[in-house]
């Protein structure tokens, strides 16, 4: 039997795994959805705080990659038609291009910005802090004003 000579790769820099989102090198796990290194920090999340301080939670909850995997879609999330039809275009763009992604959607759909039905202010859906009712979207300020009046 011929002995295969294993060429040891001569990598100069030590390829330490790093969280693909924040760059930390400690307590990493691989994401189930895309196999990238990410902080194993889900425990840091305080229930119902809606804080976005956990890399793994952010990626799982706020990206199409995580959604696509959780929903059991086939193929690549970047070209998945289901993902695109499950959200309004603005959210598809946000989920597909925000900072919680390892890879950004190469061809995000175009969308018209959402505006407050009361004051006309542009509402960034991805940032939260708005209300959605029968009249459409209401910005946080108008919503608060309305509730005070009642």
92 binds Zn ion (CB under 5 A): no
Instruction: Give me the least distance between CB of 10 and Zn ion, in Å please.
Output: 29
**Residue 78, burial from CB neighbour count under 10 angstroms (0-12, 13-18, 19+):** middle
Q: How far apart are CA 62 and CA 108, in angstroms?
A: 16
Task: Give 18 or 111: the residue with its C-beta nearer to Zn ion.
Answer: 18
Quickly list DSSP for 55-93: HHHHHHHHSHHHHHHHTT--S-GGG-HHHHHHS-HHHHH
Q: Of 46-54, 70-78, 105-113, 124-132, which segment contacts Zn ion by CB under 5 A?
A: 70-78
Instruction: Give me the least distance between CB of 22 and Zn ion, in Å please.
Output: 3
93 binds Zn ion (CB under 5 A): no
Instruction: Give me the least distance between CB of 21 and Zn ion, in Å please.
Output: 5
Place of tokens 């939670």: 57
Does an H or E element contain 130, and which? strand 130-133
Bridge-based pairing of strands 122-123 and 114-115 is antiparallel
Q: Which of residues 6-65 bind Zn ion (CB under 5 A)?
A: 19, 21-22, 24, 31, 33-34, 39, 55, 65
In the complex, the residues that contact Zn ion under the rule CB under 5 A are 19, 21-22, 24, 31, 33-34, 39, 55, 65, 68, 73, 80, 82-83, 116, 118-119, 121, 139, 142
């Amino acid at each position: 039997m011929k002995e295969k000579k294993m060429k040891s790769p001569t990598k100069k820099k030590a390829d330490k795994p790093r969280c693909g989102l924040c760059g930390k090198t400690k307590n990493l796990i691989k994401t189930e959805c895309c196999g990238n290194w990410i902080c194993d920090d889900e425990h840091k999340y305080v229930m119902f705080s809606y804080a976005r301080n956990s890399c793994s939670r952010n990626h799982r909850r706020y990206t199409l990659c995580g959604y696509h995997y959780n929903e059991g879609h086939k193929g690549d999330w970047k070209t998945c038609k289901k993902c695109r039809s499950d959200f309004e275009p603005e959210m598809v763009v946000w989920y597909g291009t925000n900072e919680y992604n390892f890879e950004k959607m190469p061809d995000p759909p175009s969308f018209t910005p959402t505006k407050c039905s009361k004051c006309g202010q542009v509402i960034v859906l991805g940032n939260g802090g708005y209300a959605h009712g029968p009249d459409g979207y209401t910005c946080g300020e108008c919503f608060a004003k309305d509730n005070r009046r009642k």
